[in-house]
Structure 1
Amino acid sequence: MDQVAASAAGHAPSYYAATANDDTLRPPLHGEVEADICVIGAGFTGISAALELAERGFSVVVLEAVRVGFGASGRNGGQIVNGYSRDLQVIERRYGSARAWQLGAMSLEGGNIIRERVAKYAIACDLRPGNFLAAFTGKQLREMEETRRVWETHGHAGLEMVDRAGLAAIVASDRYVGGMLDRLGGHIHPLNLVLGEARALEALGGRIYEQSPAIAVDTGPSPTVRTQAGAVRARYVLVCGNAYLGRLLPEISGKIMPVSSQIIATAPLAPALAEAVLPANYCVEDANYVLDYFRRTADNRLLYGGGVGYGGSNPRDIEAAIRPNLLKTFPQLQDIEVEFAWTGNFALTLTRIPHVGRLSPTVYFSHGDSGHGVTTTHLLGRILGEAVAGHSERFDVWASLPYYPFPGGHAFSVPLTIIGSWWYRMRDRLGV
């Protein structure tokens, strides 16, 4: 499928859409249906929760505004990065040691869920082990050492520090001074993962309706979700729209901000060149505040992403925005052609911690994974399912954390956030 065809099929014109292994078109909702659970959003969070509940024997309906995996779940860097967008030591300073230990106990589970489901449901999504966090400075390396020490106290034994001499076995770039390898991380084709999970859900009796955006949610004791042409009556509703929630529920959407990230994918590299650039076939992200991330694909392309667009803004020319950083990292790829360039939004919270809670006793939500969504969405999808099934202990840990609206309201939140990001970009450039 070429980029035009992929876009016409409803997905962004990405490498993932062009190499998706399932092009099933699911019907929109027409008329009224009933289920135990109605899930809004067929991305990782929604499908993960729906699958958890279907495995427990609940009847589930999923409403998706466009296509399964249309948002960040089908467009991201495909990196299995453990933990959260803020380190456990930051979480401890903010929320205390009890909360840090509770969140730390869950912090490897998202990656484990992915591996378990890939094996259980035979999902073909190019799963590969290994994630590498690259340091530009000695300061970043020292911070990684502290992060490793904290992680190890929480039972993560898969971390390994790498010095400059060890870099050659991981990444062929002289930009870095070292880094930290997470052997429990990895990378996947994210769209094929969520499509495989959706098929597993349907095999268990779950129903998915595409092209069916929710336009109203009744949060009462017998909640109803309405679309343009139908309605779902359920016992519980799970709101999992994330950065694509829009203004459906302003009481929660005001606490997240859509942020775009841009990705390019090169033409396939010669196998020898691909192995020379990333010898271990780990995915890589750097340690800057506004970071770059990259990896090899199954067909030996280099997929390279980075940049931010607060409020969901996008550059006019994605390749022009991202290619210079690719060439800073890999000048040996100066002549390589870029075949795909796309963008997508993730949801940012002011605290950079996922926003989880209840709108009523029957309506639950989770969003705002703040750039660490591949693993966190799987964890929180499971926790949503647990809560609906009557086991809300872990859900309540997340729901107890404080969350705030972005300062400045709708008009000024984006410019104020941009000003804040300038400060951190300057710190990255100065190495402080």
Structure 2
Amino acid sequence: MSDNPAADHIQPFWFAQAMKRESNHCPKVLTQDIEADVCIVGGGYTGLWTAITIKQQQPELRVVIIEKGLCGSGASGRNGGCMLTWSTKYTSMKKIYGEQQAIHLVQASERAVYALEQFCQEHQIDAELRRDGTLYTATNAAQQGSMDKVLAELSKQEINSWQQWHKERVQREAGSSQHIEGFYSPAAGSVQPGLLVRGLKSVAEKLGVEVYEQTPMEAIDYGQPVTIRTPQATVAAGKVVLALNAWMLEQFPQFRRSIVLVSSDMAITQPIPGKLAAMGLKDGKAVVDSRIFVHYYRSTPDGRLMLGKGGNYFPFANKITRAFDQASRYIPLLRRSFDTLFPSLKDEAFACTWTGASDRSTTGLPFFGKLAEQDNIVYGLGYSGNGVAQTWIGGQILSSLVLEQDNEWSRCALVSGPKGSFPIEPVRWLGVMMVRNAIRRKEKAEDAGKGVFWWDKQLAKFANAAAKADK
């Protein structure tokens, strides 16, 4: 596909690439009523990690997953594939959850990266996982020093995995002279997200998890057991896990003010390994700048370059619209960013662009809990664009809640439901548009080395705390 925003309903690049390896895949659809100990609604990272963790601990349980499309066709198969941690969020987590829980969450998020790598090795999942770390950078003078406070706090707690690189090394290893400051952490990397989620599905099935695709939940009847109705059959389950992420809002209106849906838009080149090597992009490091609506990029093993940018499309009333299944409507924005970062590649056309729905919470962190209407139904959502590794944590939390365990995961501070809420419509959408546009003006002025209007600075503060390092 070329730089053409008119193309309709595409499979995101990673997911399409992964499904080519399953050319004979025939989805198993639920066609008869069944009973289960646990029914998980949603076949993405969160649902699959939860199912796997439950079966590893209690293999005798009958665990069922139902997925409205194909496993991974949602956010799990269309993100940027950057494995990052929560370490850059330490100061905000400390304010929300306290010092000890902030330390725990930083350590857990770093542990998740290594656990994900080990899991893929043990189960022979070829997800193109490269734990080559991440570079968190500044691309203009206004961004410089943004890491100082959080790194000082991390060092104080002796949990700082970051090291500052001199500018020349940053520019060399990031493949761009736009970076003027950079910090490196080895607890990160990149992965082909479509291959990862399909690999998790395969492992889950080998463990005995029953996976039904193209089986959407049409209704849920509370009770004991819970009954989930699908187009052709029902599932009666003792416990239910809702792992729908951004799609949660379609059937559970109580969460409509808990998150804001926002697109993250991505573009990828054809393979150009020689050019990338000449630029210095020789491994799988994830590079993220420190603006509010971040740029993030990484290379692929076959020599492509993927660039993404968050904070673009905010649908009215948090509706999952057709825009999330089409080529990005922000191709000019992606093109400008790409050409600025990589001027030597200006003549390289995008092979594909796509967009994904990110469920951004008020804190920028996910939240978990039990439905007020039914305590045998648990949920988790709100990863805020930073869930590739963190969904492993989600799986630990949700499996602990399902199995009624008293451990570090069930006692985790994230098991507290949503923290705060966004305004009602249309105030929410109008406010979001004002903040988004103020951020764009602010960052454009900063990139040009110009002063920023006071009003734009004030509006940008509403998004700053939760948005940094989300990718």
TM-score (norm 2): 0.84
- Residue 79 of structure 1 aligns with an amino acid whose one-letter code is C
Tell me how far 1:51 sits from its aligned partner: 0.8
Q: What are structure 2's unaligned runs of at least 5 residues? A: 447-456, 458-471
Q: Return the match for 2:437 from 422, 425, 429.
A: 422
Q: Could you tell me whether the CA contact under 8 Å between 1:169 and 1:279 is conserved in 2?
A: no
Partner residue, 1:338: 350
Cα displacement (A) at 1:364: 0.3
Q: Is the 8 A contact 1:171 1:279 kept in 2?
A: no
SS at match of 1:374: coil
How many aligned residue pairs are there?
A: 426
Structure 2 residue corresponding to 1:244, chosen from 247, 251, 263 = 247
Matches within 5 A, 1:22-421: 22-23=22-23, 24-56=25-57, 57=59, 58-83=61-86, 87-129=89-131, 130-138=133-141, 140-153=143-156, 156-307=159-310, 308-311=312-315, 314=323, 317-359=329-371, 360-393=374-407, 394-396=409-411, 397-400=413-416, 403-409=419-425, 411-421=426-436
Conserved in 1, the CA contact under 8 Å of 2:262 and 2:357? yes
* Contact preservation (8 Å) 1:44, 1:194: yes
Check whether the contact 2:83–2:113 (CA below 8 A) recurs between aligned residues: yes
Distance 2:329 2:203 in 1: 37
Does the CA-based 8 Å contact 2:15-2:72 persist in structure 1? no
Alpha-carbon contact 2:276-2:282 (below 8 Å) kept: no
- Does the 8 A contact of 1:11 with 1:67 survive in 2? no
Q: CA RMSD in A?
A: 2.6
Aligned CA distance change for structure 1 residues 347 and 385 (closer, same or farther; 3 Å) = same
Q: Does the aligned pair in 2 maintain the 1:243–1:346 contact within 8 Å?
A: yes
Given that 2:174 and 2:281 are in contact with CA atoms closer than 8 Å, whether structure 1 keeps it comes out as yes
1:406–1:157 distance in 2 versus 1, CA, 3 Å: closer
Please list the CA deviations of residues 116-153 of structure 1 after superposition, one character each: whole Å capped at 9, or x if unmatched.
21112110011112111111245534231332333345
Inter-CA distance 395–254: structure 2 relative to 1 (3 Å threshold): farther
- How far does residue 424 in structure 1 lie from its aligned partner after superposition? 3.6
Whether the 8 Å contact between 1:89 and 1:147 is mirrored in structure 2 is yes
- How far has the Cα of 1:271 moved from its partner? 2.5
Query: Alpha carbons of 1:82 and 1:219: their partners in 2 closer, same or farther (altered >3 Å)?
Result: same
Determine the C-alpha separation between the residues in 1 that align with 2:232 and 2:216: 10
Q: Distance in 2 between matches of 1:316 and 1:68?
A: 22
How many angstroms does 1:88 deviate by? 1.2
Offset of residue 316 of structure 1? 6.4
Q: Percent identity?
A: 26
Structure-1 separation of matches of 2:46 and 2:276: 36
* Stretch deviating more after TM superposition (284-293 or 143-152): 143-152
TM-score by length of 1: 0.91
The aligned amino acid for 2:102 is A
Q: 1:209 to 1:422 in 2, by over 3 A?
A: same
Are 1:263 and 1:318, in contact at CA under 8 Å, matched by a contact in 2?
no
Cα offsets for 1:257-286 (capped at 9, x unmatched) = 221111111111042534524244412111
Does the Cα contact within 8 Å between 1:148 and 1:159 map onto a contact in 2? yes
Note the residue ranges of structure 1 that are not aligned, 5 or more in a row.
none
SS at match of 2:174: coil
